[in-house]
Structure formats: structure tokens, C-alpha cells
A and B are shown apart, each in its own frame.
Chain A
Amino acid sequence: GQQLNQSPQSMFIQEGEDVSMNCTSSSIFNTWLWYKQDPGEGPVLLIALYKAGELTSNGRLTAQFGITRKDSFLNISASIPSDVGIYFCAGQPPGNTGKLIFGQGTTLQVKP
């Protein structure tokens, strides 16, 4: 089946630093979603991308839908302690079944 390769697996950074993570696949996707999950909670939708090449921002977060439709990245600028959590990319493959394919997650730790 389709798989998403998300990297890095984990990051430990200093407060104030910028962060970048990405997801790649050998298959194309129609939609890319980025979620953040805090311990013991459900994933929260951060950014949704619908078109190849699209660049979208949400506060300090910026994400892009790759031009080949096979990848996406998420950048976080000027990280703060509350950015700590697990970030998941999710792609919706063609076919409109409603299924999402999730990446394995990037665990972010921020040192104050």
C-alpha cells in the first residue's frame, strides 16, 4: 500500500530556533494535512494543502504541497516551548475514499 516517509523522526532544539520536517512518497496525493498531537490528546489540524505548489501559513507555521504531489514540508519559525509534541503529515490519495495515509510522526522537543 501507499506509505509516507516522514523525517526527521525526532528533533531536540533550542527555543527560538526554526524547525523543518518533511514527508515524501512514491505515490501522488490530492491533499496534504499536517497535524500536531499533544500527549494523551487527539491530533489537531494545523494546515491543509490542496494544490501542487501551494504554500500556506498559519502564524509561525508554513507548509508547502510539493510540485510533484509526492511530498510536503512543514516549517516552524522561532520555536517556543508549547511547540513540543508529535507532528504528523497525512496525505489523501486519489480516489476520494476519505482515507488518510499518515507519516510516522516527528517528535519535537524544545529546550527553553
Chain B
Amino acid sequence: DTEVTQTPKHLVMGMTNKKSLKCEQHMGHRAMYWYKQKAKKPPELMFVYSYEKLSINESVPSRFSPECPNSSLLNLHLHALQPEDSALYLCASSQDGAGALPSYNEQFFGPGTRLTVL
């Protein structure tokens, strides 16, 4: 299995809602990432988990809360979002975020969740 899967594919939520995005990989990768992407822009890194521990938080507002329940799963909990948070949210994984071999840092992306905040 060489896929990163994400659910849901699309999500529409109000500013007072609480929702969660889910990401799963079964490649045995030990690093997982959340990115935010606006139309026609490159992905922007939000969080990095390495060996199930949060290693990087790119000064993301607290209304985004990541969680890594185990080495295969990554969640992003959303609460009190703003309309400007509407974007494509991408999950990625790599064999090892600080790998001894360069190939360990190749990041594989999921298809993304298209989030719309009303």
C-alpha cells in the first residue's frame, strides 16, 4: 500500500462548528505532515509529527489542533474557523522526517480535503 488517504474529500462548516480532518498511511512512515494550500499557490507547512510527537508547529493559530493517535493516523481538529481558513488541506508522510538517508525525506501527499468555511 503506497497511498496516503484523507477523509472527507470535501467539508463545509460554519464558524461555530467543530470538525476533524483525518489522514491515514500504511507505508510504515514515521513522519506525517499537515499543509494548507490556497488556489494556485504552493503548499504551506502547518505541522510536522515525527515518531508520533509534534516536532514542528509553524505558528499555526490554536483553532487548528493536530493529533497523532498512532504512527498511521493523523488528525486535524478544527474549531471556530474563519472564512479565510477555506483552502485545500493536504496530509503527507515520509519514511523519517530527519532520516539518515536522503530518500527517507521524500514526502508523499494525500488527495487533500477541500474545506469551505461559511
Contact = CB atoms under 8 A, between A and B. Distances in A.
Interface of A: 30-31, 33, 35, 40-45, 48, 50, 86, 88, 90, 92, 96-100, 102-105, 107
Contact of A105 (B42, B99, B106, B114): B42
A20 to B, nearest CB: 20
B56 A97 contact: yes
Contacts of A107: 40
B41 to A, nearest CB: 7
A30 B103 CA distance: 11
B102 A50 contact: yes
B42 A96 contact: no
Given A30-B102, A104-B41, A42 B90 contact: yes
Given A40-B112, A99-B45, 13 more contacts: A30-B102, A35-B109, A42-B4, A43-B109, A45-B106, A48-B102, A86-B40, A90-B107, A96-B99, A96-B105, A97-B56, A98-B56, A99-B48
Nearest to B102: A50
Interface string B74-118: 000000000000001010101001110011011111111010000
Contacts of B31: 98
Contact of B105 (A44, A98, A104, A105): A98
Contacts, number: 72
Tell me which of A43, A48, A96, A103 has the highest count of chain B C-beta atoms within 10 A of its own C-beta.
A43
The interface size bin for chain B is 20 to 34
Contacts of A99: 45, 48, 56
Contact of A45 (B33, B40, B107, B111): B107
A87 to B, nearest CB: 11
A3 B81 CA distance: 29
B17 interface: no
A92 B105 contact: yes
A98 B48 contact: yes
A97 B42 contact: no
B14 interface: no
